[in-house]
C-alpha cells in the first residue's frame, strides 16, 4: 500500500513523509539525508511489492528465532 502511495506521491510529499519518519525516530533530517533516505525508501518500496504480492495463508508464522 505504501509502495503504491510512494509511486503516486509528488516529490515534496515524499520528502515530507521521510522528514516525518526521521523525526519520529529522532534521526537527523537535513536535506541531503532526506534525499538519500527517500532514494533507498523507494527501492525498499519496490522490493516490498514483490513480497506483498504473494498470498500467505493465515497460519504461516515467522521462522522461529527466539527459544525460551
Residues 22, 29: contact at Cβ < 8 Å?
yes
Q: Does 27 bind another protein (CB under 8 A)?
A: yes
CB of 9 to another protein, least distance (A): 14
Residues 6, 42: contact at Cβ < 8 Å?
yes
Q: Does 31 bind another protein (CB under 8 A)?
A: no
Write out the H or E segment, with its range, that includes residue 34. helix 31-52
Residues of this chain that bind another protein (CB under 8 A): 2, 18, 21-22, 25-28, 32-33, 36-41, 43-44, 47-48, 50-54, 56, 60-63, 65, 67
Amino acid at each position: 500500500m505504501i509502495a503504491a502511495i510512494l509511486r503516486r506521491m509528488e516529490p515534496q510529499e515524499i520528502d515530507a513523509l521521510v522528514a516525518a519518519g526521521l523525526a519520529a525516530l529522532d534521526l537527523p533530517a537535513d536535506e541531503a539525508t532526506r534525499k538519500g533516505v527517500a532514494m533507498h525508501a523507494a527501492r525498499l518500496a519496490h522490493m516490498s511489492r514483490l513480497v506483498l504480492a504473494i498470498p500467505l495463508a493465515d497460519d504461516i508464522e515467522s521462522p522461529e528465532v527466539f527459544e525460551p
